[in-house]
Structure 1
């Protein structure tokens, strides 16, 4: 019998922090119809005519701030995760790592599996909460590629793992190093999405954004809603650490453009907390399984500086899952179960 294939897919990273590589990465990322879900002609004008030319030099400077001797932190930790998962799964499995955008590509990873004659493929998009622009995009890309094969092996996907017990425990373990009870407020800052993308995922057509607390509780109606899954992840981590409801806030970062995105925005929450006299904040970013630009720079540097200007004293980031043994155990559990 052939080996069982396991494909781990994260978002992606430029090949280097230089402007040409960042431009190439942003172009592929933002031209994805699930990321900027507007008509193709409008998307092309917006991305290639405005966003990429003007944003690439600025974004390259930010990547240079987090790039180290290991290169991109996201790629570095993703490679370690894949190697550790392979080691734990053993010879019965063949593990490949891919990035949705840039290298290593999903195409190359699937070609490797095909060449090794794997008997099945399990795809795990490394995004705890489901979103069309992340998990949905990975699933679509894999299906486009494998759908062209003459022989399509049994293939399965992990849709989300926002409530995975070991994921929750890992974030809690990482937070205990900082004594959460010593902070004035705990923030769970997730990557943002346009509100229109949340509405598109509401198959009932009568729940999404119809009330202020529509995402606060996970139900059959909103079980695939990104925001609802984010709130649920935060609730589980808070419960694991015995953090009272009043002591933590859920917010969303990385907003792009002027149209409404999922709220509240992290920057607005910082303003409110500073106005309340809060001085020290502990910040989780549970939408990411490896530290990256959004955690190491956006939270630690940008939000840290912003909060201090507002009168605050400290913004402390809780490390992502990275190479924590429990997180590797969580991935192995998803594969086997």
Structure 2
């Protein structure tokens, strides 16, 4: 947690902090809340310590290359017949009210997809997973998209967890179990790209973000 991390850094006598969000696409619900949490504890422990935030990097070149690599590997699971594979970009959903209030999350997603499709030459469709509660959420939802693809006669789906950089509940269970089972019942084969985790290009992305922040400061 932020308080323990800050306590460790202060014990190491750091004189400034660069915080890098592991959400490439900014939203007040994700990066915003995490940054607020960090600032709250920094205010308590060392309010004068300089803090620089890297809060988004939707089209950072090494990040895009890492995603492209995972897509090419994912398509290879369909025996290389990429003409028959529909790519679905599945992002964590948000209430529509966030976007109406100016949250850049969807714009950031579209920047990533645009850069990615320019690099790969492959087109996909954006959908949203993990909604909860009675408010209006971003659409189409991923389950709705699966049904639309089945009605369109699609047979092979490559799911790209576009807003997730590491494995967790939404990738391991929601995509690779729930959505795969749903696709199978609808007569389709679904594979998912691997989240970036420790992909060398993604680690290089983080390194370059930090080095650039140091240069800028």
Instruction: Give the TM-score normalised by the residue count of structure 1.
Output: 0.59
Match of 2:169 among 290, 293, 316: 293
What do the CA deviations read for 1:43-98 (whole angstroms, capped 9, x no partner)? xxxxxxxxxxxxxxxxxxxxxxxxxxxxxxxxxxxxxxxxxxxxxxxxxxxxxxxx
* Matches of 1:150 and 1:118, distance apart in 2: 11
Structure 2 gap segments, 5+ residues each: 77-81, 213-217
What do the CA deviations read for 1:286-332 (whole angstroms, capped 9, x no partner)? 211111111111111111111121222x1110011111111111111
1:184-263 matches, within 5 Å, as: 184-200=85-101, 202=102, 225-244=104-123, 248-263=124-139
Q: How big is the shift at 1:184?
A: 2.9
User: Are positions 1:320 and 2:195 aligned together?
Assistant: yes
Q: What is the match of residue 34 of structure 1?
A: none
| Structure 1 residue ranges, 4+ long, deviating more than 6 angstroms after superposition | none
2:33 is paired with a residue of what secondary structure?
helix
Point out the structure with the larger helix share.
2
Instruction: Give the TM-score normalised by the residue count of structure 2.
Output: 0.91
Q: What is the match of residue 215 of structure 2?
A: none
Q: What is the match of residue 24 of structure 2?
A: 128
| Larger RCO, structures 1/2 (Cα 8 Å, 6+ apart) | 2
User: Are positions 1:177 and 2:73 aligned together?
Assistant: yes
1:159-178 matches, within 5 Å, as: 159-178=55-74
Q: How big is the shift at 1:260?
A: 1.0
* Matches of 2:41 and 2:26, distance apart in 1: 21
Say if 1:166 and 1:183 are closer, same or farther in 2 by CA, change over 3 A: farther
Q: What is the match of residue 210 of structure 2?
A: 335
* Matches of 1:227 and 1:333, distance apart in 2: 24
Alignment check: 8 A CA contact 2:59 2:112 kept = yes
Could you say which structure has the larger radius of gyration? 1
Q: What is the match of residue 144 of structure 1?
A: 40
1:250 is paired with a residue of what secondary structure?
strand
